[in-house]
Structure 1
Amino acid sequence: MSYSKPIKSPCLSVCAVDGRANVCTGCGRRLKEIAGWSAMSDGERDAVLRELPARIEALGEKAQAPEEALAKIKAALGA
């Protein structure tokens, strides 16, 4: 029996979308990215992950747990 490796994800289980920015206030992903996350390749996910810190910063005070989100993104990227 073989198992595939888990899909890396920046999800914090906050799941609240800021209507203006059109991104989750927890992880910074867009709804389309969240919906298609499992179908993306590792490279596509990494490209999105690299964009997330700027999105979270742009949310400012609306970001739910920015330090936790940035740490999870960094870990997902293996940095």
Structure 2
Amino acid sequence: MQNSRPSRPDTPCVAVCSTTFDEVCRGCGRTVAEVANWVFMTEDEKEAVWRRITAEGYPRRKG
């Protein structure tokens, strides 16, 4: 059985870290809690975050 999830990097981080105005990173779109807990999340939890942030137009790279 083939995995139906898209191929993605291990993390949404794009090294543009900023949560100056709220609890959401301006680079990857994750909340502070999601960034802190990323390595402890299950694959399903990570997939849910990926779906949300990509729907919101993240991750964003400078340029």
**TM-score for the superposition, normalised by structure 1:** 0.57
**Gaps spanning 5+ residues in structure 2: where?**
1-8
User: Which residue is equivalent to 2:30?
Assistant: 29
Measured after TM superposition, the shift of residue 37 of structure 1 is 0.2
User: Which residue is equivalent to 2:40?
Assistant: 39
Does the CA contact (< 8 Å) of 1:13 and 1:26 recur in 2? yes
Report which of the two has the higher share of helix: 1
**Gaps spanning 5+ residues in structure 1: where?**
1-6, 58-62, 67-79
Tell me which stretches of 4 or more aligned residues in structure 1 moved more than 3 Å. 54-57
What is the aligned-residue identity percentage? Answer: 35
User: Which residue is equivalent to 1:13?
Assistant: 15
Count of residue correspondences: 55
Report which of the two has the higher share of strand: 1
